Structure 1
Amino acid sequence: MSLNFGISNISKGNHDSYKDKPVSKSLPLYYKDKSPFHPRNPHSKRKQKVFMLLKGFIYSLGLYIVYYLARNHLFSSSDSSHVFQIFNSGTPSWKTAQSEVRQAMLESWHSYEKYAWGYDVYHPIKEQGENMGPQPLGWMIVDSIDTLMIMDCKEEVERARKWIKDDLDYKFDYAVNTFETTIRMLGGLLSAFHLSGNDDVYLDKAVGLANSLHGVYDSATGIPYSSVNLKSGVGIKNHMDGGASSTAEAATVQLELKYLAKLTGEVNWWEKAEKVMQVLEANKPQDGLVPIYVNPDTGKYQGNLIRLGSRGDSYYEYLLKQYLQTSEEEPLYYDLYRESVEGVKNRLVRKSFPNELTFIGELDKGIGGPFSPKMDHLVCFYGGLLAVGATNGLSLDEAKQQKWWNEERASDFKFGEELTYTCYKMYHDVAPTGLSPEIVVFNEDTTKEHDFKIKPLDRHNLQRPETVESLFYLYRLTGDAKYRRWGYEIFQNFVKYTKVVNKHGEVSFASLSDVTSLNSDGSPKYKDNTESFWFAETLKYLYLLFDDENKLPLTEYVFNTEAHPFPKFHTNDHLKTGWRRKIDESVKPKIREKPVKGGAKPQIPQAQPVDDSIEKEVESALKENPKLAKDDKEGKKKKLNELVKEME
């Protein structure tokens, strides 16, 4: 573990405070010189000088002993936050922390460049790469280039750009996963286009890739198939799960397709993204909670398993982010998001024993079935999502001044903070590495002492980003330095336990097979693999967590689920939601915002005007209501206006 960050600040902080404050309750020395009890014999000054030298030596020796014990005890612990709390009375140099993250990125990236350049997969221990198919997909380079741009790594960016321009070609006979290719490759190219100042190299490749993916949406319902052949453009059903597509995967292509439509003017991409959401919404899932599979032929959900972990997570994420991406001009998606949040609160949230950690469980057999206290590390994205959803990307203090701020949003933010603390504890409480496992099972049994347990098959760590992602959001929105301290603790444990140094002193970083134990020689239990999201997400979010310049402000950007930032934009006559929800009166009170104290009812920004279809729904409602039919004409007109306002 590097000590530079902590010690440089410890020394400065302690010395400054020592100069400004007396070292004991006794009076300063110049008062002693004037004391009436000061000795008067001729040797008193000499004796005083010797005494002061001896006192100074003893005092210095004591300080050194304290420092030595603290260094060996505290710095050997995985909880580096104690270092800040005990020694760092001033503000840590977060610029230094950010520099350390950049250095880790460059060291790791340079090893990839040397041993696996252009390959999709990197094995840092074997020091070799491989492709997923017959040709490279740019899995590492395309997914990581915007991180290099954000970190101002100009030479590395130029080499990556040249490879993308000269060597990347998506027209070959190979089936790729629709979701992963969209969020990593298409998302990476679109983000690089924006961050590069609109370099057409990236947009041209993005359009070519999107055209190769086009056929995946040619199902009977518009729900994308799970895979697609890049050469033929033909979509391929999942060969498992009865041909079903993952719900998260089907509903996590919208940010990318909508931004592509905005850049190119091709409305077709927008329509395909919207069609998926319209079909999914037509299922009217109870409490906004969806099963993790959907059938592309029927558009109906398949099975009952509900969770915010794998195959479910980013469905909920993109409900909010579609609303934010279009500058809050499509409130339909905010309604869907709010409905799902209430469902999560009511159905999936519990507290662990003994420390009452807030966690999100699973419903293996759907609503009404048994509750499982299992939580994937993937779920840790949700704390940051709740915080952004509560504030619309404004700081918490700014959000509280808005007319739309209410108890519901305050509750969401608090929920986000509690869940993020739980995710931090999934790192902090795991010995000896201080790194989170892939999955934990939380304890609700009052006879047991620990808040969660880790099953043998779930002990691995893939250097996932979700916890540091939420720390980034919460720091940006609150300015509370504890989120930075937690993030730095996690980062240092990544450095200590996932760093791989070869015989030439070259550094890589690898996943771990077990975070709960070490080898007999004290070395970590590595998995010989570096995931692309280590570069694309984990290090990016850590770098932005320690950033003091507000790069990529949340009021102007939305991050896709692979941490690729897209600028927000406005809708127009061609690029806007082409469908409306048929609101179920039984759930409407849950999805509309509650009045703030004082009686003022907040309005959803930029509500769309009522169209003919809504007027027909109102007329139908009037006909079906016998009581309303007996009202006089003025009464009917009044009721009609009230219904129209509600549906706005």
Structure 2
Amino acid sequence: MFLLKLCFCVYVAFLIINVISVNLVTGLRYYSTKDLEDLREEVRSMFQHAYDSYLKYAYPYDELRPISCDGIDTWGSYSLTLIDALDTLAVMGNYSEFQRVADIVANNANFDANINVSVFETNIRIIGGLLSAHLLSYRAGVNVEPGWPCNGPLLRLAEDVARRLLAAFDTATGMPYGTVNLRYGVPPGETTITCTAGVGTYIVEFGTLSRLTGDPLYEEVALKALNALHHHRSSIGLLGNHIDVQSGRWTALDAGIGAGVDSYYEYLAKGAMLLHRPELAATFAESRKAIFRYLRQNDWHFWVSMTRGEVALPIFQSLEAFWPGTLSLVGDIDRAMKSLHNYHSVWKQYGFTPEFYNIPQGEPGTNREGYPLRPELVESTMYLYRVTKDPYLLEVGADILSSIQHSARTPCGYATVSF
């Protein structure tokens, strides 16, 4: 029940470090330089506590369970946390441990396994983790191969995993199945229904892989999936929550920016910036207009019918907190700040953002009150602080740090909070 998502905890720690250390001079109205340095070091110790606990109690399992102090395989039995945390070691400046673990991963990771895995999760955690660690290798003092960054053992591992995921994209629409067997491809009888995020969250990793390896295939399949989603948008420009990847028929018609949809919009914006693809920026701009027209009310974003734009669920989901950060990337700072203020008000009310929050009633959704260490709010806070240097955002970062330390810390890591 209290399964630690260490990769999320690591991400939270990394982002808070950026929020409170980007510019120690700015924001002194709230903190002295010493205060900010102390907070930065506290975050570093948080990461170390979670990381050391994983190594001590859970490795080589995927994740740590911080209440029972043991490990569990969740996404693929491939030591997910070790790979997902590798780049953060470099960010934290722990280069000796980065070098040690990078060598372990490069020499021991084997993805030729008869296991069924989430295509989405394997991409963002394994391929993304390997690529980011590969790109940080030189900074971390690794003796890189000639031709780096277009060569290297972590890059080869990332490409090996990506090749194993390609079978999922072999559909009539080019939109991928949700599950693939790492050795044998799409499992027999696998459902053709995939959530929108599960279709549209590949262009960052796959595009990076294509640019580094020179093989355009990965970027091409990711773009084809994105284009297929856009093609199947409703007449008012909205996308639903789940779609049949063979027929293109929508099977869940609620449109929103939260669970099941969120990272589709995030990857349009980030893919456009990373890969210099104006067509992705144009798609995001078109989608943003539809979101503002039909979903946005008083700087909240409701769930609506994708065909009529009528409100279906007046709720905020914690996953939606990525949105202000994404808006900041395209220069929409005013709307981003207004949304973030709303989300922070919920955090202040409960000490966390519940998974679901009923906006008219001003209370968490029934049976969706918990907080599984999601990083979206602090990610948005980091992006907005980098753009605005608004000292209020330092307060948000400190609030998040304090809440996690007070309520989520255990002797063996950090745990999901139920309230």
Q: TM-score, normalised by structure 1?
A: 0.56
Task: Verify the 8 A CA contact 2:325 2:379 in the aligned structure 1.
Answer: yes
Task: Verify the 8 A CA contact 2:325 2:383 in the aligned structure 1.
Answer: yes
Tell me, in whole angstroms, the C-alpha distance in 2 between the residues paired with 1:322 and 1:365: 24
Tell me, in whole angstroms, the C-alpha distance in 2 between the residues paired with 1:186 and 1:244: 23
Task: Verify the 8 A CA contact 1:237 1:245 in the aligned structure 2.
Answer: no
Change (3 A) 1:291 1:108: same
1:232 aligns with 2:184: yes
Q: How does 1:287-326 map to 2 (within 5 A)?
A: 287-326=236-275
Tell me, in whole angstroms, the C-alpha distance in 2 between the residues paired with 1:237 and 1:93: 57
Q: How does 1:204-243 map to 2 (within 5 A)?
A: 204-234=156-186, 238-239=190-191, 243=192
Q: How does 1:17-166 map to 2 (within 5 A)?
A: 90=32, 93-132=35-74, 136-166=77-107
Change (3 A) 1:287 1:151: farther
From 370, 373, 377, the equivalent of 1:463 is 373
User: SS state of the match for residue 176, structure 2?
Assistant: coil
Tell me which residue corresponds to 2:352.
435
1:185 aligns with 2:126: yes
Task: Verify the 8 A CA contact 2:235 2:307 in the aligned structure 1.
Answer: no
Task: Verify the 8 A CA contact 1:138 1:185 in the aligned structure 2.
Answer: no
Tell me which residue corresponds to 2:19.
none
Tell me which residue corresponds to 1:491.
401
User: SS state of the match for residue 283, structure 2?
Assistant: helix
Task: Verify the 8 A CA contact 2:236 2:306 in the aligned structure 1.
Answer: no
Task: Verify the 8 A CA contact 2:356 2:369 in the aligned structure 1.
Answer: yes
Tell me which residue corresponds to 1:510.
415
Which range moved further: 373-382 or 281-290?
Answer: 281-290
Tell me, in whole angstroms, the C-alpha distance in 2 between the residues paired with 1:89 and 1:215: 52
1:345 aligns with 2:292: yes
Q: How does 1:350-429 map to 2 (within 5 A)?
A: 350-351=297-298, 358-364=299-305, 366-390=307-331, 412-429=332-349
Task: Verify the 8 A CA contact 2:177 2:186 in the aligned structure 1.
Answer: no
Which digits, 9 at most, give the CA deviation of each residue in 1:71-120, with x for residues without a partner? xxxxxxxxxxxxxx999575563222111101110011111111111210
Tell me, in whole angstroms, the C-alpha distance in 2 between the residues paired with 1:317 and 1:457: 27
Which digits, 9 at most, give the CA deviation of each residue in 1:209-247, with x for residues without a partner? 1121121111122111111010113366654xxx31111
Partner amino acid, structure 1, of 2:408: T
Task: Verify the 8 A CA contact 1:228 1:236 in the aligned structure 2.
Answer: no
Task: Verify the 8 A CA contact 1:220 1:298 in the aligned structure 2.
Answer: yes
Tell me, in whole angstroms, the C-alpha distance in 2 between the residues paired with 1:124 and 1:361: 34
Partner amino acid, structure 1, of 2:334: K
Query: How far apart are 1:194 and its partner, in Å?
Result: 0.5
User: SS state of the match for residue 457, structure 1?
Assistant: coil
Which digits, 9 at most, give the CA deviation of each residue in 1:163-212, with x for residues without a partner? 31233211111110111100111011011110112471211211111121
Tell me, in whole angstroms, the C-alpha distance in 2 between the residues paired with 1:298 and 1:456: 35
Question: How many residue pairs end up in the alignment?
Answer: 382
From 107, 110, 123, the equivalent of 1:169 is 110
1:274 aligns with 2:184: no
Q: How does 1:599-610 map to 2 (within 5 A)?
A: none
Query: How far apart are 1:324 and its partner, in Å?
Result: 0.5
Partner amino acid, structure 1, of 2:342: T
Task: Verify the 8 A CA contact 1:462 1:511 in the aligned structure 2.
Answer: yes
Task: Verify the 8 A CA contact 1:216 1:236 in the aligned structure 2.
Answer: no
Which digits, 9 at most, give the CA deviation of each residue in 1:291-346, with x for residues without a partner? 1112211234333111111111111111111210123xx22211111111111111
Structure 2: runs of 5+ lacking an equivalent = 1-26, 139-148
Change (3 A) 1:162 1:436: same
Partner amino acid, structure 1, of 2:294: R
Tell me which residue corresponds to 2:15.
none
Q: How does 1:517-536 map to 2 (within 5 A)?
A: none
Partner amino acid, structure 2, of 1:323: A
Tell me, in whole angstroms, the C-alpha distance in 2 between the residues paired with 1:262 and 1:89: 42
Query: How far apart are 1:136 and its partner, in Å?
Result: 2.5
Tell me which residue corresponds to 1:45.
none
Tell me, in whole angstroms, the C-alpha distance in 2 between the residues paired with 1:254 and 1:236: 27
More relative contact order, 1 or 2 (CA 8 Å, 6+ apart): 2
1:482 aligns with 2:392: yes
Tell me, in whole angstroms, the C-alpha distance in 2 between the residues paired with 1:349 and 1:284: 18
Tell me, in whole angstroms, the C-alpha distance in 2 between the residues paired with 1:281 and 1:86: 45
Structure 1: runs of 5+ lacking an equivalent = 1-84, 352-357, 391-411, 444-450, 502-506, 515-648
Partner amino acid, structure 2, of 1:499: R
Which range moved further: 160-169 or 307-316?
Answer: 160-169
CA RMSD of aligned residues (A): 2.2
Task: Verify the 8 A CA contact 1:176 1:229 in the aligned structure 2.
Answer: yes
Tell me, in whole angstroms, the C-alpha distance in 1 between the residues paired with 2:174 and 2:189: 13
Task: Verify the 8 A CA contact 1:136 1:168 in the aligned structure 2.
Answer: no
Change (3 A) 1:322 1:309: same
Change (3 A) 1:421 1:370: closer
Task: Verify the 8 A CA contact 2:119 2:177 in the aligned structure 1.
Answer: yes
Change (3 A) 1:468 1:86: closer
Query: How far apart are 1:288 and its partner, in Å?
Result: 3.0
Tell me, in whole angstroms, the C-alpha distance in 2 between the residues paired with 1:86 and 1:150: 25
User: SS state of the match for residue 132, structure 1?
Assistant: coil
Q: Percent identity?
A: 27
Partner amino acid, structure 1, of 2:180: V
Change (3 A) 1:366 1:139: farther
Tell me, in whole angstroms, the C-alpha distance in 2 between the residues paired with 1:288 and 1:141: 40
Tell me, in whole angstroms, the C-alpha distance in 2 between the residues paired with 1:294 and 1:89: 48
Structure ID, larger Rg = 1
Change (3 A) 1:182 1:88: closer
Change (3 A) 1:127 1:367: same
Partner amino acid, structure 1, of 2:295: L
Tell me which residue corresponds to 1:579.
none
Change (3 A) 1:383 1:237: farther
Partner amino acid, structure 2, of 1:319: L
User: SS state of the match for residue 99, structure 1?
Assistant: helix
Tell me which residue corresponds to 1:543.
none
User: SS state of the match for residue 294, structure 1?
Assistant: strand
Query: How far apart are 1:126 and its partner, in Å?
Result: 1.1
User: SS state of the match for residue 334, structure 2?
Assistant: helix
